[in-house]
Chain A
């Protein structure tokens, strides 16, 4: 069987999927990045490899997420795409008529508006990370609730309390206040969910026409409390796809398939020996070439430098290969 690997290296989680040629999900792996994307890529790939049976060949690799360039260097991706395109592709693959995608991840939240299956408009959070996975994680641990149970606890609420959604810090102090007043935890966390939805709609979704069908994906879609809050406030039904947490990786895999099939090329995947046997080290140094003093990041496999990035003049980025390559850092 021929498969495509999709990799989504995010701030909080790193996801890996294998899709077959018809776009069916074969394997998915969801890992915590834990601030070490290099390890996450290695471990993720090792786990993917364990699930590979002998008759599977890797036809292509796609990477996305904030660590997409790193994934490209380590794996040899055929396609390196931003998260917005990847999420849109994955959602419209599953729901061909989707018009609105709500995607909330570890640090980013996005809204994507589609028209006839292609992205027509999008927005990302700019100033406030309230409502993203990291904030929910933090609040759950403060209330001593496992993040997995956050949603199920929230939907038990009968009377959500009102919490300010303008800003994460205000939301937190409001929550503490309501807690000290003696409100039940369920009502507080459901109130938080509603506040975060209002925050999302005001900050990210402002000025956008949210039309059905709506798809809610990203790690935070696991939170049934938020789904319920979205349904209540938008007065619409919300679809959460089965593989909501790895949709970015699915999108990357689909894009890799498109790329390979359209261009009739073979994959630039570097092979499992390259990833599993090598010792990857990242280091940074200050380039003293001009007063800019750019912080240049270097990635080495054993003693061999693989990539540089971070310099404004591209002196380092282009030092390894003469052909023009796009690096987005």
Chain B
């Protein structure tokens, strides 16, 4: 059995480790390239959202490489994602591919079910080995995320942005290749060290909250690398979704680490009191949370036609007015021209920067006893 799975941000690193731990032959998805996009767009329904198209591209590429089993997540609720796996299976079968598909359904707080599903995947592995694989994958996931957070923090501050990105990419590679705890820890430590040594600039720093749909937030190819782009404009990005938090909240019932999910949901009230599918309610709640923590601005992103995000967007205007925090919404689809996207982002950052400068001037005037 040669197993493959869709790509989403850096999750391929821990997922690969997990599957290898289950003694499976893994064909990891290729980085999302123009070719992936082209294949996906060609074989997907035109009106489907971008993540499905990218998934399709991923699968076709790996099936062509000889994969015979696809691991895919399922889901339920108003978001179309729950139906992705089924649609993808049908399209791929129609295209003549021979494969099995394993759909992991999110058990929502019943850990044992997920565990059973994962155990069933492995061939001839003991319970002990399954536990070991899960633990190691979780460790890798946490390290990867630490690195991601560090980059978000450091990219806004360093003078040489290219160097920071390079160190980060090399660090990810090292973690991916690491086969044991010590190697992972070493890769993390040395990368963090290198990042900390990079010299900083002294320009104005902006704190940006990034909210929206999970796939678009996690996968740089689906958001035109918005995190790095903002970082290059001296914006420190904090996302509303990190993979470990999501797994903790939605798969493990918040049992494995401290969760602020309930706080975010409470924040969404009274603007959006109901679960509208996807991350609509979280987008609103996180925006309120970012505003309360004095962030300079919030950017909401999602794939074009994303229903939960459209619902959230219609509420965000009010949040923005009441908290006085600038919010901008961007939907992504397959564009070749990125000019429009980057012009908007640059204008947004410019606006925030001028607000900060005005604010500082005002504060300075107050201190100096002027009006």
Contacts and interface: CB of A to CB of B under 8 A. Distances in A.
A81 B331 CA distance: 23
Contacts of B338: 329
Contacts of A293: 33-35
A118 B346 contact: no
Where chain B touches its partner, the secondary structure class is helix
Interface string A306-329: 000000101000100001101011
A328 B31 contact: no
Interface string A32-74: 0000000000000000000000000000000000100000000
* Residue picked from B160, B339, B347, most chain A C-beta under 10 Å: B347
A85 interface: yes
Contacts of A82: 343, 346-347, 350
A274 to B, nearest CB: 25
Nearest to B338: A329
Interface stretch (A119-127, A185-193, A223-231): A119-127
A207 B342 contact: no
A191 to B, nearest CB: 30
Contact of A290 (B31, B343, B347): B31
Interface in B343-367: 343-344, 346-348, 350-351, 354-355, 358
B343 A66 contact: yes
Contact of A292 (B33, B161, B343): B33
A326 B162 CA distance: 10
B34 A124 contact: no
B248 to A, nearest CB: 32
A96 B91 CA distance: 59
B317 A124 contact: no
B326 interface: yes
A277 interface: no
A84 interface: yes
Contacts of A84: 343, 347, 350-351
Contacts of B331: 126
B339 A124 contact: no
Given A291-B35, A293-B33, A324 B358 contact: no
Contacts of B347: 82-85, 119, 122
A328 B162 CA distance: 14
A85 B350 CA distance: 7
B278 to A, nearest CB: 21
A242 interface: no
Contact of B339 (A66, A81, A116, A120): A66
Contacts of A118: 351, 354-355, 358
Interface string B141-159: 0000000000000000001
B319 to A, nearest CB: 13
A66 B338 CA distance: 11
Contact of A328 (B33, B160, B346): B346
A85 B345 CA distance: 12
A296 to B, nearest CB: 13
* Residue picked from B34, B159, B233, B317, most chain A C-beta under 10 Å: B34
A119 B160 contact: no
Interface in A75-120: 81-85, 116, 118-120
Interface string A255-272: 000000000000000000
A81 B350 contact: yes
Given A116-B358, A121-B326, A329 B33 contact: no
B34 A83 contact: no
Contacts of A119: 347, 350-351, 354
B340 interface: yes
A120 B352 CA distance: 8
Interface of B: 30-31, 33-36, 159-163, 165, 225, 232-233, 317, 326, 331, 338-340, 342-344, 346-348, 350-351, 354-355, 358
